[in-house]
Amino acid sequence: MTDALADRYGRRPDGRRFPLALVVGLVVGVPFLIWVAWVWWSMSTPDVQSTDRNFTIVDAHLVVADIEVTLSDDAVDPSCRIQALAEDKTAVGSKQFTPVDGANRVKIRTERQATAIDLIGCTAKGQNRPR
């Protein structure tokens, strides 16, 4: 009966194509996985990171913000940007500054009363996304 089925439907391949598929999969898959790991590592370890700790509204035209910045040894030309926001969430003041590693106290002049700050983030050469 087995010969009758083989005559009717044909024989199964003998499996010689499996090693070829495995080799092609490895040749394509391994470099792809290495690339994904490299992208993940480079995006998860930026040269500059920043966090806003607190802020004080001094008067209608001045806000003082305390920003914590972490600079790696590879950080080149770091720059940070922060905004002061009014009650209606419009920007009433902005400041771009060159950070130092650790605590940074930033004074932001405003055109009218601010109620909050928005730390846009910090970047370094080669780091396009503010952190």
Alpha carbon of residue 35 to chain centroid: 17
Distance CA 94, CA 87 (A): 15
The domains of the chain, with CATH numbers, are 2-44 (no CATH), 48-123 (2.60.40)
User: pLDDT at position 1, please?
Assistant: 61
Residues of the chain with pLDDT under 50: none
**Dihedral (CA of 55, 58, 64, 66) sign:** negative
